[in-house]
Amino acid sequence: MTETVARNRPPPWWMVVLLVLYAAMFTNYATLWIEVPWFVAAPIVAVVLGSLAWFAVASTATSLVVAPEALHVRRRLRPLEIRRDEIVAVHGDIPNRPRWSGRVIVVTTDGSHRIPAFSEPAVGEIIERLQEWSGRGEPEPAPARPSEDGDGDGAG
């Protein structure tokens, strides 16, 4: 069974309006400063801002999907697939504090993968869901070093 664990919301309507206003403003500045006609500056500004808008949308992750055999980060650029049997641990970027973390880190046999940020749900919920799905939790903390006098209480 495939389940979408997290996703990004589409940009709100006011961001699109803001992009159009910026295009008009930059076209106006180009006609004043560079002294080119508006019908020359407008297409150039439209192409540049359109390219930047496309790259901004394409570079963001769109959804995080768990399937029985793998974890998929579905995005337009560089999609990621992590096989379930390769996962060693799932944790946040703040050790032992999934609710405080800002990013999800999936540790595999090949290394660690930083999962991109999603707008919903919260990072702590994503971490808990992926730990449950993979059967792997936080990595074990390193054992405490004994004190130099050998009493083992750590207070030196």
Q: What residues contact 96, with CB distance under 8 A and at least 6 apart?
A: 138, 141
82, 106 contact by CB (below 8 A): yes
CA 50-117-120 angle, 5° bins: 100
Quote the tokens at residue 129: 């869901």
Name the pTM for this structure: 0.64
The one-digit pLDDT tens for each residue of the chain (156 residues) are: 788 888 887 777 787 788 778 877 877 777 777 777 878 877 887 888 788 777 777 767 688 999 989 999 988 888 889 999 999 988 887 777 767 778 888 989 988 899 888 878 888 888 888 988 888 766 665 555 665 555 555 554
Give 150's DSSP letter. Answer: S
Query: Helix (H, G, I), strand (E, B), or coil: what is residue 4?
Result: strand
Query: Helix (H, G, I), strand (E, B), or coil: what is residue 120?
Result: strand
Measured CA to CA, the distance from residue 12 to residue 19 in angstroms comes to 11
| Orientation of helix 13-33 relative to helix 38-59, angle to 10° | 140
Measured CA to CA, the distance from residue 106 to residue 84 in angstroms comes to 11
CATH code of domain 66-134: 2.30.29
Q: Taking Cα atoms as reference points, which of 67, 74, 71, 128 lies closest to residue 99?
A: 128
